[in-house]
Every structure is written in structure tokens, then in C-alpha cells.
């Protein structure tokens, strides 16, 4: 489809390169297409205007979780943010907040990876069969339904950008990793609750969460990390009082 | 357990206060405030007739104790929410100062409520 006069959208894109003293915003004019998302516009900029623009993306269909950015100040998957929602513009694209910036829209994910690993988000068995499957572990649909919602996380980290606690605490394990911890703790095949306990039940685990709920509001996969953390707080509180009042019932 | 948090103490009282506040306070506001102001016979009658109404109910010590508990738990709930909101708003104060200031205020308020309920 072609129109006589093409509608243009102004993009204000956060730019930073490691050898620059400070970040800046660069303005690009992008033709408006009703069926374009912000990621299409970024690809257009990179292909036709400025090849130095750096950002992560892969699947462009809300599965890989790599294209998250702040779009007009709100954490979004750029592949799911239609230009039509932001017309007439301008559209400001910035890297996800609460992360250090490596270059342009690319953030450093090392801190998150360490936190993710710390909650051991995999099936742990008392029989030690973590790395070698010794038999099938059967599960009923009802048992699967208990944790299914929390297993939909794609690690896009929009929840960390939305989280007020992550904005002031580097140590806070954060919504996605805590939701995954809860996902495995609720899995009938898993026996690793004890091994995750120390990490989850410290201040920097579930207890720093102030239950603002923005993590669940921005989640593109409807995981509800805030709900997962609240569930974990309930079991954590019961565990705390049990240890305090009936220590003989607790395994050492 | 190393590094174990004592936050469950505050959180569980906060949780109780939240449930209690959500369940009882709207009803109390509705009955004593809106219902009375709107002149509903059932409510104004209860307020007016001291011997059968709310006034008489308040003469029972257990009723006063329950009322005091509701208000005390609701104040701890508010204190906890204010404490965490201040942290979220990047108010840089030592954690102990925030704890003493917020729950201390709730404790003082609860003590005042207890005194009022005991004396009047």
C-alpha cells in the first residue's frame, strides 16, 4: 500500500557507546505503518538510517524475551508494542531501567544471571538425579496446573525494570527469579525446597518485596511474579514461626 | 539459618491487619458513618437507644477489646505499608530508624486507642 504523503513517526532513541562520556538521545524519522511494532522501527533505523544502533532481538513474536526496552517510559517487549498505540508520537525508546547499559539499548544481564542461578531453577531430587534422569517422574494434570503459570516466564526482565525494589537494591533477587524458584518449589517432581530455602528466605529474597505488583502488571506472559512471591511469603512466615516455636519439628 | 530474615514478624501482623481492615473497617464506616448520616432507621435507632444499641454494646469489655485489636492491627498494617513505601521512594534512612519510627508510631497509636477504650 502506498499513500501520496507518507506519515512519519519521530523516534527518540537512547544512544550510548562505551567510549562516550555520556549518553544522548538521537532522533530518527520512521515511516508509519499500522502493522509495525517498535522493533520493526528499530530494524528500519538500523537497516536504512544508522547501522551503529545496537539492540537485542531474536524471535519478534514474544517468545525469546530479548527485545525488552522502555517505550515511552514503560517496560515493553518492543516486538509487542504497536506504533499505533503511540501515535502521533514521538516514541522514546530507552534501555530497561534498573540495569547497567552496555551499549545503546543493550543492558548487562550478568547480575540477573547470578540471581537466577542462585535459586537453582531446575528439578532437584533427593536421590541425586539432577543431572542424570534415572526414571520418568510422572505428574498429573492437576499437579502440573499448580505451577504452570509460573513456568511461562521468558526472562525478558520487564519485571525488574518495573520493580521499585530493584531500583534501590542491587541484591534483591527480584520477581522473575523468585517466581521461578516458586515454580520449582511447587513442582511435584521437585525435592529441592530445602536447598532453595536459604536464598529465598533472606531479606534480599522474598522479604524485600513491597508487593507493589508492577512486575505482574508489565509481564507479557501473565506470570504474576507478585503472586508467586506472596505465596512464598506465606510458606516462609509459617516456616519462620515453626522454627521459632516448635524447633524440634524442623529438620536440621 | 544464616542470614534468615525476621521480616515475617512484621509481615504476618501486616497481613492480619490488612485482612481485618479490609473486612471490618468498611462495614464500620458504612454502619456508623453512612448509614447513620443517611438516617437509616435500623442504624439511627441503634445509635439512639443506649440500652439496646451500639452504646450498650460498647459497655462490654470483650467488645472494646476486639475494637482495640482491630484498630491496633490496622495501625501496624499502615505503618508497614508506609515503611516500605518510603524505602521504595528511595528515602535513605538506616533500616532500624525506619522500623522504630513506623512501628513505634503504630505502637503509640495503639496505646492511645487502648487508653481511650479503657477510660471512656
* Nearest CA-CA partner of A205 in A249, A246, A245, A235: A235
* Nearest CA-CA partner of A204 in A234, A241, A243, A174: A174
Specify the length of chain A in residues: 252
Does B1 map to a domain? Answer: no
Residue located via cell numbers 530508624: B97
For an interface test with A, the pick among B11, B98, B99 (most A C-beta atoms closer than 10 Å) comes out as B11
B94 vs A: CB within 8 A: no
Give the A:B interface size as CB pairs under 8 Å: 47
For residue A225, the model assigns a pLDDT of 96
Residue located via cell numbers 514474544: A62
Q: Report all structural domains of chain A as residue ranges with CATH numbers, in order of start.
A: 8-107 (3.10.20.30), 110-249 (1.10.1060.10)
CB contact under 8 A, B12 and A237: yes
* Nearest CA-CA partner of A139 in A98, A92, A186, A204: A186
The three state secondary structure string of A105-144 is CEECCHHHHHHHHHCCCCCCCCCCCCCCCCCCCCCCHHHH
- Candidate from A197, A202, A210 with C-beta closest to B87: A210
pLDDT confidence tier of residue B79, bands split at 50, 70 and 90: very high
For residue B6, the model assigns a pLDDT of 87
Contacts of A241 in chain B (CB under 8 A): 8, 12
Determine the Cα–Cα distance for residues A64 and A152; give it in Å rounded to an integer.
Answer: 11
Instruction: Kindly state the DSSP code that residue A64 receives in the 8-state scheme.
Output: S
* Nearest CA-CA partner of B12 in A150, A191, A230, A30: A230
| Contact indicator for A206, A180 with CB cutoff of 8 Å | no
Does B2 map to a domain? Answer: no
- Could you tell me if residue A137 is left (phi over 0), alpha (psi between -120 and 50 degrees) or otherwise beta? beta
Per the structure, the count of domains in chain B is 1
CB contact under 8 A, B8 and A237: yes
Nearest CA in chain A to B7: A207
Q: Which residues span the domain enclosing B39?
A: 7-119
For residue A14, the model assigns a pLDDT of 97
pLDDT confidence tier of residue B54, bands split at 50, 70 and 90: low
- Candidate from A164, A197, A233 with C-beta closest to B11: A233
Does B24 map to a domain? Answer: yes
- A8-15 and A91-94: which strand pairing? parallel
- A24-31 and A74-77: which strand pairing? unpaired
Burial of A145 (0-12, 13-18, 19+ CB in 10 A): exposed
Digit-coded pLDDT (tens) for A171-190? 999 999 999 999 999 999 99
For residue A118, the model assigns a pLDDT of 95
Q: Residue B14: is its pLDDT beyond 90?
A: yes
* Nearest CA-CA partner of A175 in A98, A229, A95: A229
Does B26 map to a domain? Answer: yes
B97 vs A: CB within 8 A: no
Does B15 map to a domain? Answer: yes
b/e per residue, A5-16, with b = 16+ CB within 10 A?
eeeebebbbbbb
The three cell numbers locating residue A239: 516456616
Q: Report the percentage of chain B scoring pLDDT > 90.
A: 40
The ipTM (two decimal places) reads 0.76
Q: What are phi and psi of A198, to 5 degrees?
A: -60, -40
Determine the Cα–Cα distance for residues A72 and B111; give it in Å rounded to an integer.
Answer: 48
The three cell numbers locating residue A173: 533477587
* Nearest CA-CA partner of A206 in A247, A161, A239: A239
CB contact under 8 A, B4 and A240: yes
For residue A125, the model assigns a pLDDT of 84
A210 vs B: CB within 8 A: yes
Determine the Cα–Cα distance for residues A49 and A105; give it in Å rounded to an integer.
Answer: 17
For residue A79, the model assigns a pLDDT of 97
Does B35 map to a domain? Answer: yes
pLDDT confidence tier of residue B1, bands split at 50, 70 and 90: very low
Q: What is the separation of C-alpha A222 from the centre of its chain, rounded to a whole number of angstroms?
A: 11
Determine the Cα–Cα distance for residues A106 and A44; give it in Å rounded to an integer.
Answer: 18
Instruction: Kindly state the DSSP code that residue A223 receives in the 8-state scheme.
Output: -
Q: For chain A, which ranges sit under pLDDT 70?
A: 1-4, 127-134, 252
CATH of residue B42's domain is 1.20.1300.10
User: Cis omega before residue A175 (within 30°)?
Assistant: no
Backbone CA torsion sign across B76, B80, B86, B87: positive
For residue B30, the model assigns a pLDDT of 81
| Contact indicator for A7, A28 with CB cutoff of 8 Å | no
Amino acid at each position: 500500500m502506498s499513500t501520496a504523503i507518507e506519515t512519519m513517526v519521530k523516534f527518540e532513541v537512547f544512544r550510548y557507546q562505551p567510549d562516550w562520556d555520556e549518553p544522548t538521545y538521537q532522533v530518527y524519522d520512521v515511516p508509519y505503518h499500522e502493522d509495525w511494532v517498535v522493533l520493526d522501527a528499530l530494524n528500519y533505523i538500523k537497516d536504512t538510517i544508522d547501522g551503529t544502533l545496537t539492540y537485542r532481538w531474536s524471535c519478534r513474536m514474544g517468545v525469546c524475551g530479548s527485545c525488552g526496552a522502555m517505550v515511552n517510559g514503560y517496560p515493553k517487549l518492543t516486538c509487542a508494542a504497536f506504533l499505533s498505540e503511540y501515535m502521533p508520537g514521538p516514541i522514546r525508546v530507552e534501555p530497561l531501567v534498573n540495569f547497567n547499559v552496555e551499549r545503546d539499548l543493550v543492558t548487562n544481564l550478568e547480575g540477573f544471571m547470578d540471581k537466577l542461578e542462585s535459586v537453582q531453577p531446575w528439578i532437584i531430587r533427593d536421590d541425586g538425579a539432577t543431572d542424570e534422569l534415572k526414571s520418568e517422574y510422572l505428574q498429573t494434570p492437576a499437579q502440573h496446573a499448580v505451577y504452570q503459570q509460573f513456568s511461562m516466564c521468558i526472562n525478558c526482565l520487564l519485571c525488574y525494570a518495573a520493580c521499585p525494589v530493584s531500583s534501590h537494591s542491587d541484591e534483591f533477587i527480584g520477581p522473575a527469579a523468585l517466581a521461578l524458584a516458586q515454580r520449582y518449589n511447587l513442582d511435584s517432581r521437585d525435592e529441592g525446597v530445602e536447598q532453595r530455602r536459604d536464598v529465598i528466605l533472606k531479606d534480599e529474597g522474598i522479604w524485600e518485596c513491597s508487593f507493589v505488583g508492577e512486575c505482574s502488571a508489565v509481564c507479557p506472559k501473565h506470570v504474576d511474579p507478585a503472586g508467586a512471591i506472596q505465596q512464598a511469603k506465606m510458606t516462609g512466615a509459617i516456616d519462620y514461626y515453626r522454627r521459632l516455636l516448635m524447633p524440634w519439628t524442623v529438620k536440621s | 539459618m544464616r542470614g534468615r530474615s525476621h521480616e515475617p514478624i512484621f509481615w504476618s501482623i501486616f497481613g492480619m491487619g490488612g485482612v481485618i481492615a479490609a473486612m471490618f473497617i468498611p462495614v464500620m464506616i458504612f454502619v456508623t458513618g453512612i448509614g447513620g448520616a443517611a438516617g437509616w432507621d435500623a442504624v439511627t435507632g441503634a445509635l439512639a437507644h443506649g440500652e439496646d444499641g451500639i452504646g450498650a454494646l460498647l459497655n462490654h469489655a470483650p467488645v472494646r477489646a476486639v475494637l482495640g485489636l482491630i484498630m491496633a492491627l490496622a495501625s501496624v498494617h499502615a505503618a508497614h505499608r508506609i515503611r516500605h513505601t518510603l524505602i521504595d521512594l528511595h528515602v535513605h534512612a538506616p533500616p532500624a530508624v525506619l522500623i522504630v519510627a513506623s512501628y513505634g508510631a503504630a505502637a503509640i497509636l495503639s496505646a492511645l486507642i487502648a487508653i481511650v477504650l479503657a477510660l471512656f
